[in-house]
Structure 1
Amino acid sequence: MFLVRPGVPEMLALTNTINRSALCFFLFVAFCGSAGAQTSPQAEQTGSGISLAPARIEMEMRPGTEATVVVDLDYHAAGENTQPVRIVATLNDWTLNRNGEVEFQKANTLPNSASGWLIYSPAETTVTPGKTHSIRVTISVPKDATPGDHLSALIVEQRADTIKLIQNRRQMVVRYRMAAVFYIKVGQLTRRGSLENLHAEASADSVLLIPTLKNQGNSAIRPVASALITNAAGQIVAQSAEKESLPVLAGSELAKPLTIEKALAPGTYSVKYRIDFQDGSRPTEGVTDLVVGNAAASVSYPRSDGKPAKP
């Protein structure tokens, strides 16, 4: 397989975090009811829109304890004739699949669900443009709760019966569906990240890296990673700056592709992927060889010499 070598130890102090960047889901419905969905990690603050803050809530709690948080809903509108809308809130379970895509499930169906622990109010309200509306969420952790992360999502969306359509006219209706995700962290938390595999392939104008990350702990990790590509002479020809990847949830794997926009000439290259799982362990570096042919289509060849990669 590819080579993996340890780096310099780097410890992380873990604290409760509330990330106030908004997470919005927009459902576009056109004319006769055909629909498509797309996601955006942050609500646009220009034009009309509805956003939730915080969009991610992480709380470390002990079994048998209770806490209350407030999720604010901001309805900002650019037009003068924008009308109030009726919204309804519900709970869903959620997870990330192996490709890094968010998946929502019915409440209390996933093994690590916290949906049964949450009570929120109001469940339905009318929101007015230019005003902030608050939803209070109370989390009650059972005395027999198992250690680790328990997840839930507060879904806020516009009631379908409040969307008014003008008959015999082609139009687009924007229906907002938003989520504030909850990580309820209970008891003794463990985070154990590992780099399981590293695949690289080149196209005409870019290089695609697919690292397979695994978390054997009971709590999510948020790795920080960078990539470096060198030619046969050891010269750097492309790189990706260090940045935080998607979280790797407890007991799961993540294999989300990373694209480096760079056209490589035919030849043999070394691809190094350095990752700090921020779990208290040393950073890890995976290395694989990439052979680029004349047709610009190539694959990686895992090293098998059993020696650590050169720094």
Structure 2
Amino acid sequence: MLRYRANPRAWISGVLWLLGAAAFAQVGIGVAPPRFELVLPPGATTTEVVVVFSRNTPDQRIDVALVDWLNGIDGALRVLPPSTAPYSAAGWLQTSVDPFTLERDGAHAVRFTVTVPEAAVEGSYWTGLAFTTAPRPVEREGLTALMRTRAVAVVYVTIQGTERPAAEITGVAVQQVPGKGRFVVVDVVNRGNVYLRLNGELRFVDAAGEVVWRGPLPERVLLRDGVARYTLPVPEGLPEDVVLAAVEILPKGPAGSYGGPTLYGEVSWP
């Protein structure tokens, strides 16, 4: 059994929905670790602990719920009821969903147990534990609004020995957006059965084959059956003899495991 947790002192959760920046400034909560990347054999059971923190806040009630979630082609997150998303692991997770009081600058530990079915499962599944503050009044530009903050600890479960990582760049294009400039648009499709974490870089190459500019791509999570679209602004001041825009992406599998070969794509520069 393999367990992986992100930095246990990380403040911001792996998935964090805020109803306005002011809400987090005045009602700050976070979870540690922000995500659990569990690799378990069929039939296995494990108990884990997530800690909910508060910062610069009075005592407040925290509601607990299981949620499903998906990320869109642009990386935008969508929260769903539990056991409604494809490859949901919500039915495998048990925990208390009773509300609790989080004291000022305090911490509260929440235990949860994941039990993998004995059969008929392969690849990656996921769910989340959502912690939501009670509504609180927030002053913004002379107006008072009721704001709630929700932090979600993401739980990935991958079935050990069934992993088939595979991804493909299906398109690289240059697009001109009126009033915004030019962008390199890259689409990546998950062809395998596990989630992938994508990192890489964008390069511009001149007529002599030299890289004249390079920059990192923002990290993206590519779920099973998912598509990730990078819309990358073209930097200013590129040399006139640039002939190619190229992208290189290194996928990583669950818990940092092998995620398949490096992906390459390119497009001739206008």
**Does 2:79 match 1:87?**
no
Number of positions where the alignment pairs a residue of Structure 1 with one of Structure 2: 254
1:113 and 1:282 mapped to 2: Cα distance? 27
- How far off its partner does 1:285 sit? 2.3
Local SS of the residue matching 1:218: coil
1:236 and 1:165 mapped to 2: Cα distance? 49
Check 1:106–1:281 CA distance in 2 against 1; reply closer, same or farther (3 A cut). Answer: closer
**Could you tell which deviates more after superposition, 221-230 or 130-139?**
221-230
What is the aligned counterpart of 2:235 among 261, 271, 286? 261
Q: Which residue is equivalent to 2:255?
A: none
Q: Which runs of 5+ in 2 are unaligned?
A: 253-257
Q: For residues 145-188 of structure 1, give each alpha carbon's deviation from its aligned partner in whole angstroms, at most 9, with x where no partner exists.
A: 4111111011110134xx3689xx84244421111111111141
2:78 and 2:166 mapped to 1: Cα distance? 23
- How far off its partner does 1:281 sit? 4.2
Check 1:122–1:113 CA distance in 2 against 1; reply closer, same or farther (3 A cut). Answer: closer
2:204 and 2:242 mapped to 1: Cα distance? 10
Runs of 4+ in 1 over 3 A off after TM superposition: 163-166, 201-207, 231-237, 263-268, 278-282
Q: Which has the higher contact order (CA 8 A, sep 6+)?
A: 1
**Does 2:189 match 1:214?**
yes
More strand as a share of residues: 2
**Does 2:84 match 1:127?**
no
What is the aligned counterpart of 1:176 among 149, 155, 167? 149
Q: Which residue is equivalent to 1:105?
A: 80
Contact 2:59–2:101 (CA under 8 A) maintained in structure 1? yes
RMSD: 2.8
Task: Output the TM-score relative to the length of structure 1.
Answer: 0.72
Contact 1:202–1:264 (CA under 8 A) maintained in structure 2? no
Q: Alignment identity in percent?
A: 22
Contact 2:138–2:147 (CA under 8 A) maintained in structure 1? no
1:165 and 1:250 mapped to 2: Cα distance? 39
Local SS of the residue matching 1:277: strand
Q: Which residue is equivalent to 2:112?
A: 137
1:281 and 1:244 mapped to 2: Cα distance? 19
Contact 2:138–2:145 (CA under 8 A) maintained in structure 1? no
- How far off its partner does 1:231 sit? 3.4
Higher Rg of the two aligned structures: 1
2:198 and 2:105 mapped to 1: Cα distance? 37
Task: Output the TM-score relative to the length of structure 2.
Answer: 0.82
Q: Which residue is equivalent to 1:152?
A: 127
1:26 counterpart letter in structure 2: L
Q: Which runs of 5+ in 1 are unaligned?
A: 1-14, 29-37, 292-311
**Does 2:269 match 1:290?**
yes
- How far off its partner does 1:273 sit? 1.0
- How far off its partner does 1:48 sit? 5.4
- How far off its partner does 1:116 sit? 1.0
